[in-house]
Amino acid sequence: MSNKLKPIQWENGVLKLIDQTRLPTEFIINEYTDYIGAAKAIKDMIVRGAPAIGVTAAYGIVLGAREFRDNSKEVFMQKMNEVCDVLRNTRPTAVNLFWAIDRMYAVLQNNENKEVADIINILEKEANAIYNEDVEINRAIGQFGNSLIHPGDIILTHCNAGALATADFGTALGVIRAAHEAGKNISVFADETRPFLQGARLTAFELQHEGIPVTLITDNMAGHFMKQKKINCVIVGADRITTNGDVANKIGTYSVAVLAKENNIPFYVAAPISTIDFSLEDGEQIPIEERNPQEVTHIAGVQIAPEGIKVANPAFDVTPNKYVTAIITEKGVIYPPYNENILKLKNEK
């Protein structure tokens, strides 16, 4: 997919996003020319996956700057604060969103004495840099992760941490893709990932598109196949990692991690260093997004639950570090003790 489909494109001041709510049955590219549209794309999960959210937010800031380019410098800077606030309030869990906004805002402040037109050009260059760095980071994660994969491995993954969740190539699927490219004859079990079905709609789509053998299973089948020794390792992405190695990822990841430990199966997390939140000591401090109940009561617009039923719909859960075998980053593979080894990467962020 990395050379065929681009989930995020920036062309002549227009942000183009594959509408991931329509996959796999429809392939639609939405175009955005204002920051409110970019923010809504993040909130509505037209674009999703921590790295992709960060890249989209960076371009959203550029769109905002272009919208307010004809204002005075004072008004422009004031409006840019509003743009950043709107983007910050889209989704609370994926730390890459805030990392990218903070990086863009620092560039804005460092160049506030320049002309507005120059500031906009500098912001656009920075957003492009974030995009290009993400592509290289994902490829590095893939190569480091590939060293953990054995020929013939059957890999379980949960949710979608592929090219569609990043600028290109992917984190967890980047590892799988790298192993496939290395001729290791791997195959994949993809959890469907209720309630938004990212595994069924996106991961299965990506892997099938790449010609990587994939079997789609429902979320509650994972333990069955682990017990039958049909899974050799688990690889997932992450939306936020704390300094002790606790990992927030799509809801259901914790259950998979517990099952993996019970069955002596390695559980790997693949994520860029930008996903590590060095301000948080443990996973209890991670905010968990609660999403629309309709995602649970309906599938593809069809009601499957009783009218008026009470619904809980947390989008993420937190996997304690004791279940994490290793964390794969662009700087290498991190092993326990995470409190020590993660902090060594702080200057690499």
Q: Supply φ then ψ for residue 32, to 5 degrees.
A: -130, 135
> Which residue from 263, 269, 252 is spatially nearest to 192, judged by alpha carbons?
252
C-alpha 8/C-alpha 29 separation (Å) is: 9
> What DSSP element (H or E) covers 222?
helix 222-227
Q: Strand 187-191 vs strand 154-157: parallel, antiparallel, or unpaired?
A: parallel
Residue 66 DSSP class: H
C-alpha 152/C-alpha 302 separation (Å) is: 39
Structure tokens at 10: 């920036």
C-alpha 128/C-alpha 286 separation (Å) is: 29
Tabulate helix, strand, coil % of the chain (nearest 5). Answer: 45, 20, 35
C-alpha 181/C-alpha 295 separation (Å) is: 36
Burial label for 183, CB within 10 Å (0-12, 13-18, 19+), is: exposed
> Sign of torsion, CA 329 335 339 343?
negative
* 168 tagged catalytic: no
For helices 116-146 and 95-110, what crossing angle results, to 10°?
140
Residue 29 DSSP class: E
Q: Are 226 and 263 in contact (CB under 8 A)?
A: yes
Cα dihedral: 337, 338, 339, 345 (round 10): 120
Candidate list 134, 239, 246, 317, residue with the active-site label = 239
User: What residues are labeled active site?
Assistant: 239
